[in-house]
């Protein structure tokens, strides 16, 4: 029964019905009467009759029931002394919950702010923990080191370790238990179901010992199996192709057309180097002999108690006994200097590239959390100010400081806990898409998970922010004097706020602006660097060019003649297709790592030097290659139809090659044939017919380009000496429609062949830019949020301060201050804070952007434009945030305010 | 003067005293005041709730008591009354007056206050 409504209805006919408060009071009396009657055993009818009689008498006295309460309703604070400390906490929390319900806007703002801050920080922590700190899955991971070899200080052009050093060390390893060689390639797997391209690891049998890996079923291959065609499947490939059937062991599988026997299945968790590797096939490290050099990656497990430095020293010493590989070493390392070996702990090596960016991002998101917390603290301080009287009275009634601090802590912890819960929920949502948001080549993406460590982190964060938000207002409470607070009610102090709280809020605000400034500077540097990478002049035009990697396995195409014929056939069909402007191929795509390299000697063009050792990357291309990707010809010409197998043998070089080795007149120069042997004639030299602009290997870490040589595939005597080529097609129409046609042309030519994903070349380039893009987008997002938080904070601070100073402002207006004077007064307060924050932020930025140096391309860490633009932006937006409160201050009506006070 | 009339006059004069005395113990709401007066006088002084609230409002206007809405954990908000400084003084002086009155009655008619 709604007693209030019942009572209101009873007085509806009265000439002057009582006020709402009287109605409510009478309604409660009526309800109590009814309940008492029922409790005494009266029937409901009897009880209602008693109430009706009561109401009847009130109706008679309606004229006397007029009254207006002079006090606003209050909430009874919890008792000062609780029976037990635990009961007190519960009481505090219940009071806090009721308070939160009564101020829904404040509560919502706090919870959402904290949820965003804690959610973003926790989400990033998931990545940082999974990638950098989560223990590696292999049993002896702490003792595993990644080995790298340099010669004369130079790393190899591709790979990391040579067979020469490998064998020299593995014969007598003192510091190592074992070492293993591995590399990765993409192969076509067929047999049973449709052929598919998968990434596999080729590795020595010792890899399993180094990793301490045990098979899920079957066996892992042994050293004696290294030359036999066996394969160890990853758990995921086994499930996918064999439905997790244990009978798969012993079955056959075609790898690039060659039959392999499945010997075992490796658990996904132990996959090396990551779970993207779908199988492991054996690799026998060739013996070091003569001029040949095999380059691969190497890892080792050290004996217990051995340090990485000791292992590296031993590797270097053993490497010195490795046989000299002559010009090949020159080609691979660009030096024949002494071997140096370095050993880096596996965890560090896996994540070396991403460690710094991740730490930078974690710091950035931490700063974002700080600004979010600062806003909440600022809000709490403002509230503590208005609640000063309540607190003072409670202190007067005997509540100790500790008691009231506990109360304030309970209030802020409750809000932050709600925010934290929402934040963790947000992280759960984000985590599903996180793996797909990260670049495909990001290390340890499979290790991202929300686990106890993450939840613990979120909890610590929540409690930390909760305590920070409650403790600061409590500290001010301590400082406040009872008499001052009680006496001060109704008249705001001159500064707009109680001086202590005001100073703290100004300091917080300054720090917020500083943090926003630092993050904006960092984000705009990374953003500009990314744009510079995107629009960098690479020496060619990737737009509308589709590319497809095609491998012609030796089992299907054992002869170079058959490969040549296949490529010719595919190219002529592609060129005939509608929507195709041009089609060509290259043995190696520009801007991809690895590839072939060659070294040879030739007469030097430089004075004082007779012979120069050339190190260059040879490429085999079809005649149309240069026009397909629109490389620029700087001098001479590129290949034409006249450059056939019977014509004079010619070569096109890039600018780096011409500059380094050919001097002023590159066109017409004779240089020896390098890399790919062609006709066995008596004069193994070619004539340089043209010089091309460099294709630049644009990245923050690796600027510059390599000397390159281009040979026409037509002059290879109808033999194609490589098994993998990249087809390039420039589309005249929509590239997407051409993509499918490329696949079908390849299928028609040979149904057993599968081309790797056909991607427009500019998109393939974008995948190489995935990391810089991720970093700049993330930092940009954090900076944007921090910026928004700071502006909201500034706006809130000024609005509050204006409302608190209304009396002072009205007095000033009454004493003759004009509208502009008042505007200026408030603007000055806001802009002082902004300017101080900017100064601190810029100073911090100068120091902090130094850490970004390795991530920046085409923009200096102390870029003047950025350092000028960010403060301008903050100043403009900061001023806008001040304008509204300032206008409100300027439009005060002194009469109304002074009279109302 | 009939008995009923005396009763009515006495009651009217004593109502304020009763309310002040009950509020001296602690803050109370209207229903509680009505119930306590009824209980403690064992039903002999039960004045109608109809006159309780006008009395309370009148006393509040005279600043003898102060009413305010309080919301206690787990309860609906209720209007509690408490004694003001003036109310405390009024209570003391009324007690003196009634003391003297009973003393006089006792001396004349041998009536002892309960």
Query: Averaged over A478-503, what is the pLDDT?
Result: 53
Q: Among the three residues A721, A752, A783, which one is the final residue of a domain in this structure?
A: A752
Q: Which helix H or strand E contains A553, and what residues bound it?
A: none
| Of A269, A264, A171, A278, the residue nearest A222 (C-alpha) | A264
Query: Averaged over A862-883, what is the pLDDT?
Result: 90
Q: How confident is the model at residue B55 (pLDDT cuts 50, 70, 90)?
A: confident
| Of A314, A294, A350, the residue nearest A176 (C-alpha) | A314
For residue A89, is it within any domain? no
Residue A580 has pLDDT above 80, yes or no: yes
Q: Return the pLDDT at A788.
A: 87
Residue A450 has pLDDT above 90, yes or no: no
Q: Return the pLDDT at B48.
A: 61
Over its C-alpha atoms, chain B yields an Rg (Å, rounded) of 16
* Residue A786, C-beta contacts closer than 8 angstroms, at least 6 positions apart: A367, A368, A371, A512, A515, A516, A519, A520
Quick one: DSSP state of residue A205? Answer: T
% residues pLDDT > 70 (chain A)? 90
Q: Taking an 8 Å Cβ-Cβ cutoff, which residues of chain A contact chain B?
A: 21-22, 24-26, 28-29, 32-33, 36, 54, 57-58, 60-61, 64-67, 69, 71, 73-76, 78, 91, 94-95, 98
Cα A385 to Cα A173, A395, A501: the distances in Å are 72, 15, 8
Lowest-pLDDT range of A63-77, A390-404, B11-25:
A63-77
Q: Return the pLDDT at A607.
A: 66
The 10 Å Cβ neighbour count of residue A889 is 28
For residues A566 and A564, give the distance between their C-alpha atoms in angstroms, rounded to a whole number: 5
For residues A197 and A187, give the distance between their C-alpha atoms in angstroms, rounded to a whole number: 6
Q: What is the mean pLDDT of chain A?
A: 83
Lowest-pLDDT range of A163-172, A536-545, B3-12:
B3-12
Residue-range domains of chain B with CATH: 3-109 (1.10.10.10)
pLDDT tens profile A138-192: 888 889 999 999 988 888 877 889 988 899 898 888 899 999 999 988 888 887 7
In B, which residues are within 8 Å of A98 by CB distance?
71, 73
Residue A91 has pLDDT above 60, yes or no: yes
Q: Are residues A799 and A862 in the same domain?
A: yes
Q: How confident is the model at residue A490 (pLDDT cuts 50, 70, 90)?
A: very low
Point out the residue among A61, A67, A95 whose CB comes nearest to the CB of B51: A61
Q: Are residues A740 and A876 in the same domain?
A: no
For residue A80, is it within any domain? no
Q: Does B70 touch chain A (CB under 8 A)?
A: yes
Q: How confident is the model at residue A486 (pLDDT cuts 50, 70, 90)?
A: low
Interchain proximity A69–B53, CB inside 8 Å: no
> Which ipTM value was assigned to this complex?
0.85
CB A159 within 8 A of CB A297: yes
Q: Does B92 touch chain A (CB under 8 A)?
A: no
Residue A870 has pLDDT above 60, yes or no: yes
Query: Averaged over A218-231, what is the pLDDT?
Result: 90
Containing domain of residue A584, as a range? 553-752
CA A380 to centroid of chain Cα atoms: 33
Q: Return the pLDDT at A492.
A: 41
Q: How confident is the model at residue A40 (pLDDT cuts 50, 70, 90)?
A: confident
Q: Are residues A631 and A708 in the same domain?
A: yes
Residue B54 has pLDDT above 60, yes or no: yes
Query: Averaged over A439-466, what is the pLDDT?
Result: 86
Q: Return the pLDDT at A497.
A: 46
pTM over 0.90? The answer is no
Interchain proximity A22–B34, CB inside 8 Å: no
| Strand ranges in A164-305 using DSSP code E only, listed in sequence order | 176-191, 193-203, 217-218, 230-234, 252-255, 258-266, 279-282, 295-302
Cα A351 to Cα A128, A822, B80: the distances in Å are 10, 57, 68
For residue A830, is it within any domain? yes
Question: Which chain B residue is nearest to residue A63, measuring alpha carbons?
Answer: B54
Provide the Cα torsion A80, A84, A89, A95; round to 10°.
Answer: -50
Higher pLDDT, A560 or A386: A560
Residue A226 has pLDDT above 60, yes or no: yes
* Residue A237, C-beta contacts closer than 8 angstroms, at least 6 positions apart: A189, A198, A278, A279
> For the stretch A521-532, what's the b/e string if a residue is b when 16 or more beta carbons lie within 10 angstroms of its beta carbon?
bbbbbbbbbbeb
Q: Return the pLDDT at B10.
A: 65
Q: Are residues A330 and A417 in the same domain?
A: no
Query: Averaged over A706-730, what is the pLDDT?
Result: 85
Higher pLDDT, A900 or A693: A693
Q: Are residues A419 and A304 in the same domain?
A: no
Residue B25 has pLDDT above 50, yes or no: yes
Q: Are residues A266 and A298 in the same domain?
A: yes
Q: Phi-psi bin for B86: left (phi > 0), alpha (psi -120 to 50), beta?
A: alpha
Q: Are residues A323 and A393 in the same domain?
A: no
| Of B54, B51, B57, the residue nearest B8 (C-alpha) | B51
Q: Among the three residues A305, A337, A369, which one is the final residue of a domain in this structure?
A: A337
Mutation site for A-interface testing, chosen from B64, B68, B69, B75 by largest number of A Cβ within 10 Å:
B69
| Of A635, A738, A761, A629, the residue nearest A688 (C-alpha) | A635
Q: Return the pLDDT at A457.
A: 93
Higher pLDDT, A735 or A700: A735
Structure tokens at A809: 């402002």
Q: Are residues A358 and A333 in the same domain?
A: no
pLDDT tens profile A252-276: 898 888 889 999 999 988 888 888 8
Query: Averaged over A778-796, what is the pLDDT?
Result: 86
Half-sphere exposure at residue A805, Cβ-oriented, CA atoms within 13 angstroms: 25
For residue A27, is it within any domain? yes
Residue in this structure with the two tokens 């001159």, named with its chain if needed: A494
Q: Return the pLDDT at A265.
A: 94
Q: How confident is the model at residue A424 (pLDDT cuts 50, 70, 90)?
A: very high
Quick one: DSSP state of residue A273? Answer: S
Farthest-apart Cα atoms in chain B, separation: 54
Higher pLDDT, A747 or B13: A747
3-state secondary structure of A150: strand
> For the stretch A579-593, what's the b/e string if a residue is b when 16 or more beta carbons lie within 10 angstroms of its beta carbon?
ebebbbbbbbbbbee
Angle, alpha carbons A710-A185-A135 (nearest 5°): 130
Q: Return the pLDDT at A235.
A: 92
For residue A583, is it within any domain? yes
Query: Averaged over A607-628, what is the pLDDT?
Result: 82
Query: Averaged over B63-77, what is the pLDDT?
Result: 79
Interchain proximity A69–B79, CB inside 8 Å: yes
Structure tokens at A630: 């629109």
Q: Are residues A735 and A617 in the same domain?
A: yes
Task: Kindly report the nearest CA distance between residue A113 and chain B, in angstroms.
Answer: 29
Lowest-pLDDT range of A64-78, A335-349, A476-490, A716-730:
A476-490
* Residue A23, C-beta contacts closer than 8 angstroms, at least 6 positions apart: A4, A7, A8, A11, A17
Angle, alpha carbons A377-A382-A384 (nearest 5°): 90
For residue A763, is it within any domain? no
Residue A845 has pLDDT above 90, yes or no: yes
Higher pLDDT, B23 or A331: B23
- What total of structural domains would you count in chain A? 4
For residue A344, is it within any domain? no
CA A789 to centroid of chain Cα atoms: 21
Q: Does B38 touch chain A (CB under 8 A)?
A: no
Q: Are residues A620 and A746 in the same domain?
A: yes
Q: How confident is the model at residue B74 (pLDDT cuts 50, 70, 90)?
A: low
* Residue A514, C-beta contacts closer than 8 angstroms, at least 6 positions apart: A837, A838, A840, A841, A844
For residue A55, is it within any domain? yes
The 10 Å Cβ neighbour count of residue A704 is 10
Q: Are residues A310 and A439 in the same domain?
A: no
Q: Return the pLDDT at B1.
A: 44
CB A626 within 8 A of CB A717: no
Q: Return the pLDDT at A491.
A: 43
Q: Are residues A364 and A299 in the same domain?
A: no
Half-sphere exposure at residue A243, Cβ-oriented, CA atoms within 13 angstroms: 3
Q: Return the pLDDT at A209.
A: 92
Residue A495 has pLDDT above 50, yes or no: no
Residue A546 has pLDDT above 70, yes or no: yes
Quick one: DSSP state of residue A270? Answer: G
Interchain proximity B35–A36, CB inside 8 Å: yes
Question: Which chain A residue is nearest to residue B69, measuring alpha carbons?
Answer: A73
* Residue A518, C-beta contacts closer than 8 angstroms, at least 6 positions apart: A367, A841, A844, A845, A848
Residue A251 has pLDDT above 70, yes or no: yes
Point out the residue among A22, A67, A94 whose CB comes nearest to the CB of B73: A94
Phi, psi of A547, deg, nearest 5:
-130, 145
């Amino acid at each position: 029964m709604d007693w209030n409504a019942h009572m209101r209805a009873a007085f509806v006919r009265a000439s002057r019905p009582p006020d709402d408060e009287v109605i409510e009071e009478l309604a409660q009396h009526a309800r109590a009467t009814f309940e008492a009657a029922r409790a005494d055993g009266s029937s409901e009818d009897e009880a209602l009759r008693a109430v009706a009689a009561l109401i009847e008498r009130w109706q008679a006295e309606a004229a006397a029931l007029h009254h207006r309460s002079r006090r606003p309703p209050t909430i009874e604070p919890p008792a000062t002394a609780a029976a037990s400390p635990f009961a007190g906490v519960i009481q505090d929390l219940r009071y806090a919950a009721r308070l939160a319900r009564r101020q829904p806007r404040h509560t919502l703002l706090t919870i959402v702010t904290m949820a965003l801050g804690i959610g973003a920080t926790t989400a990033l922590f998931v990545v940082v923990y999974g990638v950098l700190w989560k223990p590696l899955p292999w049993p002896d991971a702490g003792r595993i080191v990644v080995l790298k070899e340099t010669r004369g200080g130079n790393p190899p052009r591709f790979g990391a370790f040579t067979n020469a050093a490998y064998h020299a060390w593995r014969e007598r390893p003192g510091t190592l238990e074992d070492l293993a060689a591995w590399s990765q390639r993409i192969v076509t797997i067929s047999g049973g179901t449709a052929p598919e391209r998968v990434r596999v690891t080729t590795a020595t049998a010792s890899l399993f010992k180094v990793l301490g890996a045990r098979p899920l079923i079957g066996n892992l291959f042994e050293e004696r199996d290294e030359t036999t065609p066996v394969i160890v499947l990853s758990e995921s490939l086994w499930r996918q192709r064999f439905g997790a059937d244990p009978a798969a062991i012993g079955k056959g599988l075609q790898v690039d057309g060659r039959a392999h026997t499945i010997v075992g299945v490796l658990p996904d968790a132990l996959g090396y180097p990551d779970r993207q590797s779908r199988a492991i096939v054996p690799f026998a490290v060739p013996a070091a002999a003569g001029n040949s050099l095999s380059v691969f990656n190497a890892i080792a497990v050290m004996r217990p108690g051995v340090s990485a430095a000791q292992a590296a020293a031993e590797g270097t010493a053993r490497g010195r006994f490795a046989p000299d590989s002559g010009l090949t070493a020159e080609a691979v390392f660009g030096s024949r200097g002494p071997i140096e070996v370095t050993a880096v702990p596996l965890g560090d090596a896996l994540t070396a590239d991403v460690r710094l960016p991740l730490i930078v991002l974690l710091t950035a998101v931490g700063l974002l959390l700080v600004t979010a917390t600062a806003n909440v603290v600022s809000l709490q301080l403002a509230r503590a100010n208005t609640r000063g009287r309540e607190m003072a009275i409670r202190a007067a009634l005997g509540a100790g400081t500790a008691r009231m601090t506990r109360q304030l802590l309970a209030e802020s912890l409750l809000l932050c806990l709600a925010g934290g819960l929402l934040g963790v929920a947000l992280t759960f949502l984000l985590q599903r898409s996180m793996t797909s948001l990260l670049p495909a080549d990001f290390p340890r993406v499979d290790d991202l998970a929300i686990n106890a460590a993450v939840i613990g982190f979120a909890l610590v964060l929540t409690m930390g922010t909760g305590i920070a938000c409650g403790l600061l207002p409590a500290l001010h409470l301590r400082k406040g004097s009872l008499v001052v607070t009680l006496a001060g009610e109704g008249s705001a102090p001159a500064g707009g706020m109680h001086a202590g709280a005001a100073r703290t809020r100004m300091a917080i605000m300054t720090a917020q602006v500083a943090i926003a400034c630092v993050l904006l500077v960092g984000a705009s540097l990374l953003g500009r660097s990314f744009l510079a990478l995107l629009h960098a002049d690479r020496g060619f035009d990737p737009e509308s060019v589709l590319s497809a990697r095609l491998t012609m396995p030796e089992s299907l195409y054992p002869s170079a003649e058959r490969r040549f014929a296949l490529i010719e056939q595919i190219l002529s069909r592609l060129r005939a297709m509608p929507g195709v402007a041009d089609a060509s191929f290259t043995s190696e795509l520009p801007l991809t790592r690895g590839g072939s390299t060659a070294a040879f000697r030739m007469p030097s063009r430089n004075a004082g030097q007779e012979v120069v050792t050339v190190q260059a990357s040879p490429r085999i291309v079809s005649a149309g290659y240069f026009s397909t990707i629109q490389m620029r010809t700087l001098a001479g010409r590129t290949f034409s139809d006249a450059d056939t197998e019977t014509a004079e043998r010619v070569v096109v070089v890039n600018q780096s090659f011409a500059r380094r080795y050919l001097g002023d007149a590159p066109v017409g120069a004779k240089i020896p044939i390098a890399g790919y042997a062609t006709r066995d004639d008596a004069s193994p030299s070619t004539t340089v017919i043209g010089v091309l602009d460099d294709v630049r290997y644009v990245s923050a870490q690796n600027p510059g380009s390599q000397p390159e040589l281009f040979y026409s595939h037509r002059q290879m005597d109808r033999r194609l000496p490589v098994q993998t080529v990249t087809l390039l097609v420039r589309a005249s129409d929509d590239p997407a429609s051409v993509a499918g046609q490329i696949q079908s042309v390849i299928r028609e030519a040979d149904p057993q062949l599968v081309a790797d994903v056909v991607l427009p070349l500019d998109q393939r380039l974008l995948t190489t830019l995935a990391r810089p893009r991720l970093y700049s987008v993330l930092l940009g997002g954090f900076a944007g949020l921090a910026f928004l938080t700071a502006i909201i904070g500034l706006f809130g601070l000024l609005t509050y301060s204006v409302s608190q100073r209304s009396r002072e402002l009205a007095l000033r207006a009454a004493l003759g201050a004009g509208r502009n004077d008042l505007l200026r007064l408030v603007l000055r307060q806001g802009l002082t804070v902004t300017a101080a924050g900017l100064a601190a932020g810029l100073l911090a930025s100068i120091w902090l952007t130094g850490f970004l140096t390795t991530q920046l391309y085409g923009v200096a860490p102390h870029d003047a434009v950025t350092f000028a633009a960010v403060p301008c932006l903050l100043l403009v937006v900061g001023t806008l945030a001040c304008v509204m409160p300032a206008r409100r201050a300027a439009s005060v009506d002194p009469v109304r305010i002074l009279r109302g006070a | 003067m009939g008995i009923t009339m005396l009763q009515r006059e006495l009651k009217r004069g004593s109502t304020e005293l009763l309310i002040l005395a009950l509020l001296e113990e602690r803050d109370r709401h209207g229903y509680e005041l009505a119930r306590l007066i009824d209980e403690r006088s064992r039903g002999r002084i039960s004045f109608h709730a109809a006159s309780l609230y006008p009395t309370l409002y009148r006393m509040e206007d005279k600043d003898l008591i102060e009413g305010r809405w309080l919301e206690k954990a787990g309860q609906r908000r209720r209007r509690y009354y408490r004694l003001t400084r003036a109310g405390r003084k009024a209570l003391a002086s009324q007690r003196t007056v009634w003391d003297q009155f009973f003393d006089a009655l006792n001396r004349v008619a041998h009536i002892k206050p309960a």
